[in-house]
């Protein structure tokens, strides 16, 4: 794993945007895996700015999001579909056929999950997967446990994640208990991974991910087995790395 410690959230966002832009510069038809949550917002803002200045061109890029709540309507302000539309796909004008996210309204969940895996394969696989991390070390919605799912699946949110994500909802009861998420195998198949974390509440999870033993109890620690991972953190999130 390569570790980059940046001064603050803005520097982290700029450095991450520079990395993503460089990869698209090399491969204009790159396939990106995308995350939601607060952490990548700065990255998306910087990428939109760079695209508007003509420094990066997203017209050939295809994207696959990590996860979506289930059940949820696309128009819901808390859906990841809505988030992506607001912060990334919309401002960049990414054509809908190139922007993928699991369907949180689906009846046939097994069908949605296997189609999603197939679409990723048909696109040639993910070149660069962007990840955030939960306070308990989850990635996507792959929560700590005895075993982790390999493929896209219906996941149950842990109490910790429901509590953390309740800030986006009216209250804790309004947070969906389930989500459709890429599995650890889907994530590990990406050719390159960029994990972002900011703030002291992520420090323990980052410490365990980078320095801890590889365990399903800290899903992100499995990234130690991936050949090309960059962990980009601000100083606050890096405090357990010294």
Q: Which residues are catalytic?
A: 67, 136, 138, 143
Asked if 158 and 144 touch (Cβ cutoff 8 Å), the reply is: yes
**How far apart are CB 35 and ligand GLP at their closest, in Å?**
5
**How far apart are CB 181 and ligand GLP at their closest, in Å?**
7
Query: Whose Cβ is closer to ligand GLP: residue 88's or residue 141's?
Result: 141
Q: Return d(Cα 241, Cα 211) in angstroms, integer.
A: 7
Q: Please, what's the b/e burial string for 63-81 (b: 16 or more CB within 10 A of its CB; e: otherwise)?
A: bbbbbbbbbbeeebebbbb
Residue 140 binds ligand GLP (CB under 6 A) = yes
Residue 66 binds ligand GLP (CB under 6 A) = yes
Q: Return d(Cα 217, Cα 44) in angstroms, integer.
A: 30
- Residues numbered 84-103 forming contacts with ligand GLP, rule: CB under 6 A: none
Residue 63 binds ligand GLP (CB under 6 A) = no
Q: Look up residue 79 and give its DSSP letter.
A: S
Q: What is the total count of residues that contact ligand GLP (CB under 6 A)?
A: 14
Select from 16-24, 36-44, 119-127, 206-214 the region that touches ligand GLP (CB under 6 A). 36-44
**How far apart are CB 58 and ligand GLP at their closest, in Å?**
21
Query: Whose Cβ is closer to ligand GLP: residue 21's or residue 36's?
Result: 36
Structure tokens at 127: 């070149």
Instruction: Categorise residue 199: left if φ over 0, alpha if ψ from -120 to 50, beta otherwise.
Output: left
Q: Return d(Cα 80, Cα 103) in angstroms, integer.
A: 10
Structure tokens at 163: 């509590």
Residue 133 binds ligand GLP (CB under 6 A) = yes
Query: Whose Cβ is closer to ligand GLP: residue 3's or residue 57's?
Result: 3
Select from 81-89, 129-137, 211-219, 225-233 the region that touches ligand GLP (CB under 6 A). 129-137
Q: Return d(Cα 188, Cα 137) in angstroms, integer.
A: 15
Q: Please, what's the b/e burial string for 111-140 (b: 16 or more CB within 10 A of its CB; e: otherwise)?
A: ebbebbbeebeebeebbbbbbbbbebbbbb
Which residue shows structure tokens 């520097």? 11
Residue 137 binds ligand GLP (CB under 6 A) = no
Chosen residue from 63, 79, 85, 161 binding ligand GLP by CB under 6 A: 161
Residue 67 binds ligand GLP (CB under 6 A) = yes
Which residue shows structure tokens 């949605």? 112
Chosen residue from 39, 129, 149, 221 binding ligand GLP by CB under 6 A: 39
Q: Return d(Cα 13, Cα 198) in angstroms, integer.
A: 10
Q: Return d(Cα 108, Cα 106) in angstroms, integer.
A: 6
Chosen residue from 89, 92, 141, 148 binding ligand GLP by CB under 6 A: 141
Classify 35 as helix, strand or coil: coil
Query: Whose Cβ is closer to ligand GLP: residue 38's or residue 156's?
Result: 38
In the complex, which residues of this chain contact ligand GLP (CB under 6 A)?
35-39, 66-67, 132-134, 140-141, 161, 165
């Amino acid at each position: 794993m390569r570790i980059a410690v940046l001064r603050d959230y803005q520097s982290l966002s700029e450095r991450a945007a520079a990395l993503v832009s460089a990869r698209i510069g090399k491969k204009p038809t790159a396939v990106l895996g995308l995350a939601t949550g607060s952490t990548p917002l700065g990255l998306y803002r910087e990428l939109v700015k760079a695209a508007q200045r003509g420094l990066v061109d997203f017209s050939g890029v295809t994207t696959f999001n990590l996860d979506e709540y289930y059940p949820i309507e696309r128009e819901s302000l808390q859906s990841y579909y809505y988030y992506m539309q607001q912060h990334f796909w919309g401002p960049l004008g990414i054509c809908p056929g190139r922007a993928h996210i699991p369907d949180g309204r689906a009846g046939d969940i097994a069908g949605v999950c296997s189609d999603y895996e197939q679409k990723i394969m048909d696109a040639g696989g993910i070149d660069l997967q962007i990840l955030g991390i939960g306070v308990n070390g989850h990635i996507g919605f792959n929560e700590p446990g005895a075993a982790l799912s390999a493929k896209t699946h219906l996941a149950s949110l842990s109490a910790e994640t429901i509590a953390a994500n309740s800030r986006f909802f009216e209250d804790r009861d309004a947070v969906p208990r389930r989500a459709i998420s890429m599995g650890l195998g889907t994530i590990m198949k990406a050719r390159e991974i960029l994990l972002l974390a900011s703030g002291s509440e992520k420090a323990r999870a980052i410490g365990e991910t980078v320095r801890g033993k590889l365990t399903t109890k800290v899903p992100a620690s499995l990234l130690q087995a991936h050949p090309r991972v960059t962990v980009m953190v601000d100083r606050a999130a890096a405090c357990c790395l010294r």
